[in-house]
């Protein structure tokens, strides 16, 4: 029985709990299970939750994760026996698959099973008849047939035999995550797995590498091929229609929550991005940290639920749009509104350098330090590079720890043919230039209470750079709310960092708004460096 049009979460639940499957039968004291056979093409709108479900599925004890390259090791005796099989097939092109499978069984080329040998041989016969029917040529078999059968024998021993030795209810589900073209051997291995009764879940996020063996659930969106996720994405989704009730309840009890002033000044900081709707931005953007979902504070670690969002376009009622921007900005004195880019202007002498030369210089300057086992928070604040030594020691350590982590693993998109080490050196160099105003916000913030904010207004007059994206993304990691407003809906930050690390909200109207118009609407006057309103 094949089950189609399931969500990935449905599949994960059925993998973990057989009882959720419809059609389980008890036949002569043996349980018969409906077979999961499905592929997912593309990604749904809520791709963060999808990838987190995928991570859970691939790391479950109930699944066997397969990726692009499968182990092709084969015992030498098995290889020699296979050559004998091919000679028989070549010399006797009309030989039945019953006899071939009998030869294979006698030469121990079939995997061991806890069920009867007769059942296993019958399954292999059906599979070989289908393969030979498609691959047979006038004088016997071709090289593709040999390669497919050879690979199937190898992978049968490596991946299927450990499961076949167990009772059926203990077999793991095969989860095949593909980011390259599926070849003929892989296609027929899936077919063999299905013939043997295995559950198979096939994942193709790019929509480029479909499996012809399996029914498909297709999503509207797609993503570029990428390795299987190595960790869950730190997000917390909220639901608009119940947000008001939850937040009102939390806010109403806010007076009962008591924190000493700067109680966590020496704690390390980590952030958790809140995934929101546009309507929730104002609710969350004006709320204290401790009433936000998933806020946690321990003696040495504070988890700050933060906003990282981009708002494209304008509301039909523009007055409401500008009022919300002002409400979020004015809710907290540790907030900055920025509208001139790049955030950190380049020195005149560096403007003459190409990007490649600039990155090379940074690599030459920092490589001996950042690619060293001693690249730690403690060593960083004591290094000659450290520019933030006026901060309290606890704040310095929290900042340094996040700089080290962001340098090692960021959400910045690697450019075509870009060297990972050059990028790391550039990240490190950029993070040594955080604006003083932002550092003052960081130092002044008592984190269980207000959440510092950077609000970026992006008109089509400005040039948003990779360094701007790095700085804003990093400050979100440091517990800042980051909200970008782009009335014309042009690309800016999405050119440089992964889109699954921030929300994008599209409003009703797209319109070019100049900086001077924005200043008029928000009632601000243009000031000095960085135009930061505090």
Q: List all residues 6 or more positions away from 150 whose beta carbon is below 8 Å from its beta carbon.
A: 74, 79, 82
**pLDDT on residue 282:** 82
Using the structure block, give the residue that is written with the tokens 């980590």: 270
Q: Are 327 and 319 in contact (CB under 8 A)?
A: no
Alpha carbons 474 and 481: distance in angstroms, whole number:
11
* Three-state SS sequence of 404-452: HHHHHCCCECCCCCCCHHHHHHHHHHHHCCCCHHHHHHHHHCCCCCCCC
Task: State the span(s) of the chain assigned CATH 3.40.50.
Answer: 260-344+435-527
* Three-state SS sequence of 443-480: HHCCCCCCCCEEEEECCCCCCCCHHHHHHHHHHHHCCC
Residue ranges of the chain with per-residue pLDDT less than 50: 1-4, 239-256, 527-534
**pLDDT on residue 195:** 93
Q: Among 467, 379, 393, 396, which residue's Cα sits nearest to residue 428?
A: 467
> In 10 A of CB 167, how many CB atoms?
10
**Is-cis flag, bond preceding 342, omega within 30?**
yes
Alpha carbons 436 and 433: distance in angstroms, whole number:
9
DSSP-derived pairing of the beta strands 25-27 and 30-32: antiparallel
Greatest extent of the chain over all pairs of C-alpha atoms, in Å: 90
pLDDT tens string 265-281: 777 788 888 888 888 88
Domain 260-344+435-527: state its class: alpha beta
Alpha carbons 133 and 258: distance in angstroms, whole number:
75
Alpha carbons 476 and 473: distance in angstroms, whole number:
5
* Three-state SS sequence of 198-260: CCEEEEECCCCCCCCCCCEEECCECCCCCCCCCCCCCEEECCHHHHHHHHHHHHHCHHHCCCC
Alpha carbons 190 and 214: distance in angstroms, whole number:
9
Q: List all residues 6 or more positions away from 399 whose beta carbon is below 8 Å from its beta carbon.
A: 388, 391, 442, 478
The backbone torsions φ and ψ at residue 13, rounded to the nearest 5 degrees and listed phi first, read -65, -40
Token pair listed for 419 = 């060297």
Alpha carbons 252 and 248: distance in angstroms, whole number:
6
Alpha carbons 223 and 42: distance in angstroms, whole number:
7
Alpha carbons 445 and 447: distance in angstroms, whole number:
6
Alpha carbons 405 and 272: distance in angstroms, whole number:
15
Q: List all residues 6 or more positions away from 165 whose beta carbon is below 8 Å from its beta carbon.
A: 112, 113, 114
Token pair listed for 295 = 């806020």
Q: Are 218 and 41 in contact (CB under 8 A)?
A: yes
């Amino acid at each position: 029985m094949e089950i189609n049009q399931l969500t990935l979460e449905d599949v994960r639940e059925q993998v973990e709990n057989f009882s959720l499957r419809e059609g389980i039968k008890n036949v002569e004291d043996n349980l018969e299970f409906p077979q999961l056979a499905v592929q997912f093409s593309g990604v749904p709108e809520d791709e963060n939750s999808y990838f987190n479900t995928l991570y859970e599925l691939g790391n479950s004890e109930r699944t066997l994760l397969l990726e692009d390259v499968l182990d092709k090791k084969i015992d030498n005796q098995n290889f020699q026996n296979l050559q004998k099989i091919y000679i028989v097939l070549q010399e006797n092109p009309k030989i039945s698959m019953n006899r071939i499978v009998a030869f294979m069984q006698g030469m121990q080329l079939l995997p061991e099973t806890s069920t009867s040998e007769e059942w296993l041989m019958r399954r292999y016969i059906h599979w070989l008849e289908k393969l030979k029917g498609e691959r047979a040529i006038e004088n016997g078999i071709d090289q593709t047939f040999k390669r497919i059968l050879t690979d199937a024998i190898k992978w049968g021993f490596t991946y299927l035999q450990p499961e076949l030795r167990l009772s059926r209810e203990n077999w793991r589900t095969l989860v095949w995550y593909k980011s390259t073209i599926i070849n003929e051997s892989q296609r027929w291995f899936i077919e063999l797995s299905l013939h043997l009764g295995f559950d198979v879940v096939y994942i193709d996020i790019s929509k480029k590498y479909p499996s012809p063996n399996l029914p498909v659930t297709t999503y509207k969106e797609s993503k570029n091929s990428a390795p299987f996720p190595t960790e869950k994405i730190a997000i917390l989704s909220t639901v608009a229609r119940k947000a008001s009730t939850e937040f009102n309840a939390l806010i109403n009890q806010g007076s009962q929550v008591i924190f000493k002033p700067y109680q966590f000044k020496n704690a390390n900081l980590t952030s958790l991005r809140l995934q929101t709707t546009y309507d929730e931005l104002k609710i969350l953007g004006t709320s204290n940290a401790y009433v936000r979902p998933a806020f946690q504070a321990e003696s040495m670690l504070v988890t700050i639920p933060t906003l990282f969002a981009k708002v494209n376009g304008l509301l039909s009622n523009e007055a409401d749009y500008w009022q919300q921007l002002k409400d979020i900005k004015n809710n907290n004195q540790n907030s900055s509104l920025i509208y001139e880019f790049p955030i950190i202007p380049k020195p005149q002498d560096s403007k003459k350098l190409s990007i490649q030369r600039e990155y090379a210089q940074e690599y030459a300057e920092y490589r001996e330090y950042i690619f060293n086992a001693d690249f730690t928070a403690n060593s960083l604040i004591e290094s000659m590079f450290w520019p933030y030594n006026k901060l309290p020691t606890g704040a310095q350590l929290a900042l340094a720890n996040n700089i080290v982590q962001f340098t090692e693993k960021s959400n910045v998109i690697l450019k075509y043919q870009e060297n990972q080490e050059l990028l790391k050196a550039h990240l490190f160099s950029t993070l040594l230039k955080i604006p003083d105003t932002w550092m003052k916000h960081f130092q002044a913030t008592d984190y269980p209470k207000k959440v510092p904010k950077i609000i970026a207004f992006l008109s089509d007059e400005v040039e948003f750079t990779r360094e701007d994206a790095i700085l804003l993304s990093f400050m979100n990691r440091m517990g800042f709310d980051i909200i970008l407003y782009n009335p014309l809906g042009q690309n800016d930050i999405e050119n440089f960092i992964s889109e699954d690390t921030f929300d994008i909200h599209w409003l009703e109207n797209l319109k070019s708004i100049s900086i001077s118009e924005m200043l008029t609407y928000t009632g601000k006057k243009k000031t000095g460096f960085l135009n930061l309103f505090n």
